[in-house]
Amino acid sequence: MSLDPQYFAELYATNEDPWAFRTRWYEKRKRDVLMASLPRQCYQRVFEPACANGELSALLAERSAELLCQDLDPTAVNLARERLTDVPNASVELARLPGDWPAGQFDLIVLSEVGYYLDPTDWLQVIEQCLASLTYDGALLACHWKHPIAGCPQDGREVHQMLAKHLPLFPLLRHDEADFMLEYWSCQPSVVDLDETCI
């Protein structure tokens, strides 16, 4: 993460939900839009970096056979682990992008509200790591607040411009609102859901 970890430590020092993921209608609705945008019923292995307190993670776990979450802040990791206590297919690690990228391949990588905390060099490295980690029919979903955030090296528009420029994938979905943008890219030109259930 390009921002100093102390930035996040200070946020969590006084509030277990500094972005009001649990209480704001905007956040709940955005999660619902994100989940409704996933064309497949089940993904075998999902990676969610920057999971924060695990609110989105809990929903992703319902649509995945295996979910790996990461965050760079120890408080966030503990909160996410508590949120996912009764979810055996989910695990949460303390890790920092781009250096602590996990091993193995994923058929879905979710980059939600993370890109603008990285400078363009680190963000490009994350994009390249995503490409190297996707299965043959894998996909990447990105969702970001579009307005500038004080102290962040990029805004959401710049984050998605870099994705569009550097992802040699098929753009299957784009949802663009006044406040946030959500895009879904796939290694394949279409997605056929065989109604597989997560086991």
Per-domain residue ranges of the chain: 5-186
In this prediction, residue 162 has a pLDDT band, given cuts at 50, 70 and 90, of very high
Q: Cα separation of 35 and 47, whole Å? A: 14
Which residues contact residue 177 at a Cβ distance below 8 angstroms, ignoring those fewer than 6 apart?
A: none
What is the model's pLDDT at position 114? 95
5-186: CATH number: 3.40.50.150
Measured torsion, CA atoms of residues 175, 180, 185, 189, in degrees rounded to the nearest 10: 10
Residue 15 has pLDDT above 70, yes or no: no
Given its phi and psi angles, is residue 17 left (phi above 0), alpha (psi -120 to 50 degrees) or beta? beta
Stretch 144-154: mean pLDDT = 90
Does position 9 have pLDDT exceeding 70, yes or no? Answer: no
Mean pLDDT score across all residues of the chain: 90
Render pLDDT for 87-96 as a digit per residue (tens, 0 to 9): 999 999 999 9
**How does residue 12 score in pLDDT terms, banded at 50, 70 and 90?**
low
pLDDT at 175: 98
Q: Which pLDDT band, with edges at 50, 70 and 90, does 56 fall under?
A: very high
Burial group, residue 57, by CB count within 10 angstroms (0-12, 13-18, 19+): buried
pLDDT band at 190 (very low <50, low <70, confident <90, very high): confident
Average pLDDT, integer, range 133-154: 94
Q: Which of 8-17, 104-113, 135-144, 162-171 has the lowest mean pLDDT?
A: 8-17
